Amino acid sequence: MTEVKVAPEEKVRKKPSFVKPWLGLKYLFKRPVTIKIPDEKIDPAPKYRGFHTLDWKKCVGCNFCGQICPARAIEMTWIEGEKRPHPKIDYGRCTFCQFCVDVCPTGALSFIESYILTTTWREEELELYDWVPIPPDKFREMQEKFGDYRFPLEKMEFNRETKEVTYYLRDGEVMKFKILGYGIKPPKSPAEKAYEK
């Protein structure tokens, strides 16, 4: 067995310096590298991996996106009037790796370079960031109109009793839909639930 040598304490201990702490003072006179989001912005690189977009007509509900997601940020969501479930993405978990976009067989799930995600710590605002993404054309239209790379919803309402969701988009448009359930299997109808009882 090879002997493991431990470095003596005097070799690893750094000598105290009375100059080094003062070197940090030079940063007082430099411009900060951080920006004041959301009042300032940095133009992202082309193809920057920002928020998702979803073409609801192209999505076939295969859940490949949900299966590959390393952060478990995707929950398949059944929406009234849609034949297949669509992914709901939780930005509290998402790491913006875009594996879900790469694996989507129909190209329904995509992304846009918009990336600014801020709140003023009101609880209802946090719900904004757990959403079924809007179609790419609509998101692009808003990015071109405002040019600030911000999230496209101003407000989201979720009625817990009726399961109705209302998206208030930044351009004043309103999108309404009703969530029937979550998961890969279709939710049971009221008649099926009554029969089981």
**Residues binding ligand SF4 (CB under 6 A):** 59-65, 68-71, 73-74, 87, 89, 94-100, 104, 106, 108-109
Q: By the 8 A CB rule, do 119 and 150 touch?
A: no
- Which one, 80 or 122, has the nearer CB to ligand SF4? 80
- Which one, 70 or 147, has the nearer CB to ligand SF4? 70
Bridge partner residues of 75 (DSSP):
88
Task: Report helix, strand or coil for 62.
Answer: coil
CA–CA separation, 192 vs 197, rounded Å?
9
Compute the least distance from the CB of residue 88 to ligand SF4, in Å.
10
Question: What six digits make up the tokens of 80?
Answer: 């009234």
- Which one, 113 or 168, has the nearer CB to ligand SF4? 113
CA–CA separation, 96 vs 138, rounded Å?
20
Bridge partner residues of 179 (DSSP):
79
Stretch (H or E) spanning 52: strand 52-54
- Which one, 73 or 142, has the nearer CB to ligand SF4? 73
Compute the least distance from the CB of residue 6 to ligand SF4, in Å.
42
Backbone phi, then psi, for 79, in 5-degree steps? -120, 140
For residue 16, cis peptide bond before it (omega within 30 degrees of 0): no
Compute the least distance from the CB of residue 70 to ligand SF4, in Å.
6
Instruction: Please name which of 73, 77, 69 lies closest in space to residue 103, comparing C-alpha atoms.
Output: 69
Compute the least distance from the CB of residue 129 to ligand SF4, in Å.
12
Compute the least distance from the CB of residue 52 to ligand SF4, in Å.
7
- Which one, 62 or 169, has the nearer CB to ligand SF4? 62
